Amino acid sequence: MQIGLAVGDVRGPATLATVLDQVRVAAGAGFATAWTSQALGWDALTTIAVAGTAVADIAVGTAVVPVPQRHPLVLAAQALTVQAAVAGRLTLGAGAGIDAMVSGMFGLPTDRPVLRMREYLTVLGPLLRGDSVDYRGETLTAAGAVSVSGGVPAPSVLVAAMGPRMVRVAGELADGAATWMTGPKALGEHIVPAINKAAASAGRPAPRVVAGLPVCVTDTAEDVRARIAEQFALAAQVPEYRATLDREGAAGPQDVAIVGTETEVAQALTQFRDAGVTEFMAAPYGTADEQDRTVDLLAELAR
């Protein structure tokens, strides 16, 4: 199991210069990938293009970009632009988005999310490969192609997938799945077997499974878990995460976050490896000192 490092706002408010420094640290420490997410701050794809251009010796990825706001013709053009900028090191993580944000902020429909993602990926894959599409589905219409010069290869595509039907779509139409706030039980008993089966049935290679969680190396675990419970309280309430937390038997994010001493964190990470996770995306949590201590341990484990 490889270990990647989350950079940017998921670790706390960050300037663009701070994000670049985090990517440089990740590359220098030997982490597999620097991951950024799309929230309410920096644009994930633009940020990772800037960072990946400045730091050449680490893979970069989005985990994830919500797709309802970006037509596949638009996202394909953005992704291929980033892929060219970072010399083929991009993993494009995409997701259906959180219902409350997609509908509440953008006024976009959120019904039938699995069908919407299936239709979206049906179009996105060919566009990333440089093919023309003429698609008229139930939720999506797309006609045209994205033409970029220089033979830019299609990036690997991951889908934010935790529920059974979305996991099946990820296995059939993408290169794997990315999860957030999902523990080893839900991954090992539900997500990994299901996506492997779906990929095999579709004749696709063994999928990637990238699991993301807050990580904090600390001697005051109870205090840190209380802070995580407060900061990530939304994840315990929205249906997208609540169902996965229930499968884990967790009351909230504080119960699935990896928190403890160096020995305890290292032992916890082995559970994800044993569950079939191919890459762990660690989001260092806490104060600057806590994050530094966490990155030091993770870098040692990554080596």
Give the architecture (CATH level 2) of 2-302: Alpha-Beta Barrel (3.20)
Q: How far apart are CA 267 and CA 224, in angstroms?
A: 18
Phi/psi at 32 (nearest 5 deg)? -70, -45
Could you tell me the pTM of the whole model?
0.96
Q: How far apart are CA 258 and CA 224, in angstroms?
A: 10
Q: How far apart are CA 270 and CA 40, in angstroms?
A: 33
Sequence ranges of the domains in the chain? 2-302
Per-residue pLDDT of the chain (303 residues; tens, 9 = 90+): 999 999 999 999 999 999 999 999 999 999 999 999 998 889 999 999 999 999 999 999 999 999 999 999 999 999 999 999 999 999 999 999 988 888 888 898 999 999 999 999 999 999 999 999 999 999 999 999 999 998 999 999 999 999 999 999 999 999 999 999 999 999 999 999 999 999 999 999 999 999 999 999 999 999 999 999 999 998 888 888 999 999 999 999 999 999 999 999 999 999 999 999 999 999 999 999 999 999 999 999 998
